[in-house]
Amino acid sequence: LPGLSFDVIHRYAVVDRYLVDLANTYPNVRVFSAGRSVEGRDIKYITISTTNFQDTRKPVVMLQSLLHAREWVTLPATLYAIEKLVIDVTERDLVNDIDWIILPIANPDGYEHSHTSARFWRKNRARNSFCMGVDLNRNFDIFWGTASSTNPCSDTFHGRRAFSEPESAIVRDILHAHRNRLELYIDIHSFGSMVLYGYGNRQLPPNALAVNYLGVQMAQAIDAVKWPQNRNYIVGNVAMVLYMASGGSSDYAMVTGVPFSYTFELPSYRGITSTVQGFLVEPDFILQAGFETWEAIKVGARFAARNFNRR
Ligand code: 0X9
Ligand code: ZN
């Protein structure tokens, strides 16, 4: 039976195989090839549904990780959610009442590059010039180019145009395909212990009050799980609590009609927040990251189910 350990950060090939194995083993899981990365890696996602996405009374919840390559701890968080929704199911309602889309490795080229060559690589592996890579979280078509870099050598380079990169276009296509029923989208990043919402230009969405409310509920669920090095989560608009940022995937999800859309920033390595060392992952935290993030996902998903049924 398929199963992945939570003592190491798994590579692309292992996760890719695992998603296929899950779909071959569990009737409610399907695996899809969403397209290929710049270097030709297949970008796969799974769906989890007891009704094969045919029951339009169910909301869709989408989870995503590794849009930024170096943010390794986000992968076990997503894999843990898969484990709890497919293999070790203790929350039946979440499996029955919700259709799930889970995209564990949104940026496979950058991710592999961060394993083989440059641990702190963030972008994809687009060949721009002598500097490579586009920041995929600046490449979505949402006030594109207004709070990002025009310099291909910058870590926040936004690309030649919105959706110039296959990896961001793939996420766009998934969001569009499910726009009518997508109620909650969580793009998992690190680090900073934050639950962020749009927009990255300081503008608030019309439902900001509800978005903030759910953000606080999710953050509190994580904070209730104690881990010595963790800080309490901060909740807020990305531009107000972090910085201005254009072209972000979670902001783009909102304008496609997803009412609840967040960027999670998981905790840093040993509480380090001032240097890239914060992207390192303590082996003991791999399981913990999955466990505590799942607490927030559960809260978000149950809220999404209730809210969708009141529509
Ligand atoms: O800068 C980013 O892309 C994210 N932070 S990170 O340290 N993981 O790079 C925050 C993105 C939040 N963006 C929007 N909600 N627009
Ligand atoms: Zn990130």
Taking only the tens place, the pLDDT of each residue in 254-291 is: 999 999 999 999 999 999 999 999 999 999 999 999 99
Q: Which residues contact 240 (CB under 8 A, 6 or more apart)?
A: 202
Answer yes or no: is pLDDT of 253 > 90: yes
Q: Is the pLDDT reported for residue 310 higher than 90?
A: no
Which ligand has the nearest atom to the CA of 69? 2
- Among 138, 242, 255, 277, say which to mutate for ligand 1: greatest number of ligand atoms within 8 Å of CB: 242
Query: Reduced to 3 states, what is the DSSP secondary structure of residue 182?
Result: strand
Buried b (16+ CB within 10 A) or exposed e, 272-293: eeeeeebbbbeeebbebbbbbb
Q: What angle do CA 242, 295, 259 make, to 5 degrees?
A: 60
Return d(Cα 114, Cα 111) in angstroms, integer.
Answer: 5
**Choice between 226 and 69, residue whose per-residue pLDDT is larger:** 69
> At 295, which amino acid appears?
E
Averaged pLDDT for residues 59-66: 99
User: CB-based contacts of 119: which residues, under 8 Å, 6+ apart?
Assistant: 70, 279, 280
ipTM score: 0.98
Residues within 5 Å of ion ligand 2, judged at the Cβ atom = 68, 189
pLDDT of residue 2: 82
Q: How open is the CA angle 195-61-159, to the nearest 5 degrees? A: 65
The verdict on pTM exceeding 0.95 is: yes
Positions annotated as catalytic residues are 265
Mean pLDDT for the stretch of residues 108-126: 98
Residue with tokens 């586009």: 134
- Spell out which residues line ligand 1, taking CB within 6 angstroms: 68, 71, 137, 189, 196, 198, 200, 238, 245, 248, 250-251, 263, 265
